Amino acid sequence: MTSLLAELRGLSVSYPTAGRTAFALREVHLDIAMGERLAIIGESGSGKTTLALALASILPPQARLAGRIDWPGLARAPVAGRDVGFVFQDPGSSLNPVMRIGEQVAEGARRHLGLGRSAGLERALSLLQRVRIPDPEAALRGYPHQFSGGQRQRIAIACAIAARPRLLIADEPTSALDMVVQAEIVRLLDGLVREEGMTLVFITHDIGLASGFADRIAVFRDGALVEAGATREILAKPAQAYTRSLIAAHIDFASPRLIEPA
Partner 1 sequence: MNRALKLVGRRAVSSIPVLLIVVVGTFFLLELASGDAVDAYLVSLGGGDAELARSLRESYGLDRSPLHRLWLYTSSLARLDLGWSVAFNRPILDLILERLPNTLWLMGSATAMAFALGTLLGILAGARPGSAADRVLSIGSLALYAVPSFWLGLVLSLIFAVQLRWFPTAGIETIASGKTGLDRALDISRHLVLPVCALGFIYLALFLRMMRAGMAEVWRQDFVLAARAKGLARSRIVLSHVARNALLPLVTMLGLQAATMLGGSVVIESVFAIPGFGRLAHEAVAARDAPLLMGIIVSSAVLVVLVNLLVDLAYAALDPRVGAGEPAS
Q: Which chain residues interact with partner 1 by CB under 8 A?
A: 56, 58, 79-82, 84-86, 88, 90, 93-99, 107-108, 111-112, 142-143, 145-148, 156, 159-160, 162-163
Q: Shortest distance, CB of residue 150 to partner 1, whole angstroms?
A: 10
Measured in residues, the chain has a length of 262
Name which of 204 and 243 has its Cβ closer to partner 1: 204
Q: Shortest distance, CB of residue 121 to partner 1, whole angstroms?
A: 16
Query: Which DSSP string do the residues of 127-168 spell out, in sequence order?
Result: HHHHTT-SSHHHHHT--GGGS-HHHHHHHHHHHHTTT--SEE
Rounded CA separation 82/118 (Å) = 20
Rounded CA separation 102/144 (Å) = 11
Q: Shortest distance, CB of residue 157 to partner 1, whole angstroms?
A: 12
Contact 223, 25 (CB under 8 A): yes
Name which of 146 and 245 has its Cβ closer to partner 1: 146
Q: Shortest distance, CB of residue 164 to partner 1, whole angstroms?
A: 13
CB count, 10 Å around CB of 69? 19
Q: Shortest distance, CB of residue 85 to partner 1, whole angstroms?
A: 8
Name which of 153 and 243 has its Cβ closer to partner 1: 153
Name which of 27 and 90 has its Cβ closer to partner 1: 90
25 φ, ψ (degrees, to nearest 5): -140, 140
Name which of 88 and 220 has its Cβ closer to partner 1: 88
Name which of 102 and 238 has its Cβ closer to partner 1: 102
Q: Shortest distance, CB of residue 143 to partner 1, whole angstroms?
A: 4
Helix (H, G, I), strand (E, B) or coil at 121: helix
Q: Shortest distance, CB of residue 244 to partner 1, whole angstroms?
A: 34
Q: Which of 222, 200, 240 is nearest to 32 (CA)?
A: 200
Helix (H, G, I), strand (E, B) or coil at 48: helix
Name which of 97 and 256 has its Cβ closer to partner 1: 97
Residues 6+ apart with CB under 8 A from 112: 79, 81, 82, 162, 163
CB count, 10 Å around CB of 52? 23
